[in-house]
Structure 1
Amino acid sequence: MAYPNTATLVTFPSGTVHGGSTVVAAMPLPGGVVGLVTDTTPFHPLDHSWPDQPGDSGTVEFDTVDADTGEFRGARYPVVDCVIGAVSPQGEFLLGEEIPVRRGDPEWVWLVVHLAELREMDEAGAAAQELVGRAVVLRADVERRAALSAAHTGCHLLALALNEALAERWRKQARSDALGSPDFDALAMVSSRMDEHASTDRYRIGKSLRKQGFDPEGLGDALAGVTTRVNARLAGWIAADAPVRVEAPGPELTARRRWVCELPEGTASIDCGGTHVARLGELSSLTTSLSLSGDGTELVAVTVPKRT
Structure 2
Amino acid sequence: MTLPTTDTTVLYPAGALGSTGVVLHREELPDGRAAILLDVTAAHPVDAAWPDQPADRGTLTSGDAPDSPVALLDAVVAASDGSALFLGSDSPVKKGTEGWAFLVAHVVDGQSSLREGDTVTVAIDPEYRRALSAGHTACHLASLALNRTLADAWRKEVTTDAAGAPNFDALAIESSTIIPDGSIDVYRIGKSLRKRGFDPASLDDLEAIAARVDGTLEAWVATDAAASVESPHPVLTGRRAWVCDLPDGRVSIPCGGTHIGALDAFDAISVSFERDDADGAITVTMRTTSTPR
TM-score, L = length of structure 1 = 0.90
Is the Cα contact below 8 Å between 2:150 and 2:202 reproduced in 1? no
Q: Which of 59, 68, 71 in structure 2 is aligned with 1:75?
A: 68
Does the 8 Å CA contact 2:153/2:202 hold for their aligned counterparts?
no
**Could you tell which deviates more after superposition, 15-24 or 97-106?**
97-106
Contact 1:63 1:74 in 2 (8 A): no
Q: TM-score, normalised by structure 2?
A: 0.94
Secondary structure at the counterpart of residue 228 of structure 2 = strand
Instruction: Pick the aligned partner of 1:299 from 276, 284, 290.
Output: 284
Pair 1:266-2:259 in alignment: no
Cα deviation, residue 106, structure 1: 2.2
Residue among 131, 152, 158 paired with 1:147: 131
Structure 2 residue runs of 5 or longer lacking an equivalent are none
Q: Which residue of 2 aligns with 1:115?
A: 107
Cα distance in 1, alignment partners of residues 248 and 275 from structure 2: 29
Question: 1:69: which partner in 2?
Answer: none
Determine whether 1:239 maps to 2:222. Answer: yes
Distance 2:200 2:52 in 1: 26
CA separation of 1:208 and 1:10: change in aligned 2, threshold 3 A: same
The 3-state SS of whatever aligns with 1:168 is helix
Q: Is the 8 Å Cα contact of residues 28 and 110 (structure 2) preserved in structure 1?
A: no
Tell me the residue number matched to 1:94: 86
- Helix, strand or coil at the partner of 1:217: helix
Deviates more, 1:182-191 or 1:291-300: 291-300
- Give me the identity figure in percent: 41
Displacement of 1:120 after TM fit?
5.5
Residue correspondence of structure 1 range 1-308 to structure 2 within 5 A: 2-63=2-63, 75-88=68-81, 91-117=83-109, 119=111, 121=113, 131-220=115-204, 222-295=205-278, 297-308=282-293
Q: 1:196 is aligned with what amino acid?
A: P
Q: After the TM superposition, which of the residue ranges 146-155 and 189-198 deviates more from structure 2?
A: 189-198
CA contact (8 A) 2:36 2:106 kept: yes
Deviations 1:137-185 (CA, angstroms, capped at 9, x unpaired)? 0011111111110110011001100000000001011111111110111
Structure 2 CA distance for aligned equivalents of residues 103 and 48 of structure 1: 10
1:31, CA displacement in angstroms? Answer: 3.5
Q: In the alignment, residue 123 of structure 2 is paired with which amino acid?
A: R
Native 8 Å contact 1:47 1:103 kept in 2: no
Deviations 1:28-73 (A, max 9, x none): 1234322111000000000011000011120001029xxxxxxxx9
Q: Take 2:186 and 2:268, find their aligned partners in 1: how far apart are those partners? A: 22
Instruction: Decide whether the 8 Å contact of 2:3 with 2:84 is kept in 1.
Output: no
Larger CA deviation: 7-16 vs 230-239: 230-239
Work out the CA distance in 2 between the residues paired with 1:301 and 1:280. Answer: 20
Asked if 2 retains the 8 angstrom alpha-carbon contact of 1:84 and 1:113, the reply is: yes
Aligned pairs, number? 290
> Aligned equivalents of 2:267 and 2:207: distance in 1?
23
